[in-house]
Amino acid sequence: MDGVNKVTPLVARILMSLIFIMAGFSKLTAAAATAGYFEALGIPVPGLSVYLVGLFEVIAGLAVLVGFKARIAALLLAVFCVASGFMAHFQPADQAQMTSFMKNLAMAGGYLYIWLHGPGAFAVDKD
């Protein structure tokens, strides 16, 4: 069981980080389309915000993935999940958007767990 306890945090970090690595990369490679979406959401300076958000998602996602400054990255991603959930998905009349909102809250919970307990055994930073 000890091996499972060491490997499970790594698997969790992989699963938790992939969404932001992929989403950030997508934002950076489709900046114009994403800027239009950001503008529709009322996000200030959408042309610049796309790059800031995309870079944040990639860098924080990679930090969690490899376990480098994972606690800090996880806390930032938890806050980001809640904030972006409210900004982009909190639409009570739209069930699909509310499902996305709830997924954001669930991810925030996972990131708070990493923040509290650290990245585990297979990480660049050892707790």
d(CA 9, CA 5): 7
pLDDT band at 116 (very low <50, low <70, confident <90, very high): very high
* Predicted local distance difference test score (pLDDT) of residue 2: 73
**Stated pTM of the model:** 0.92
What tens digit of pLDDT does each residue of 17-56 get? 999 999 999 999 999 999 999 999 999 999 999 999 999 9
Question: Do 13 and 127 contact (CB within 8 A), yes or no?
Answer: no
What tens digit of pLDDT does each residue of 86-99 get? 999 999 999 999 99
What tens digit of pLDDT does each residue of 1-18 get? 577 788 999 999 999 999
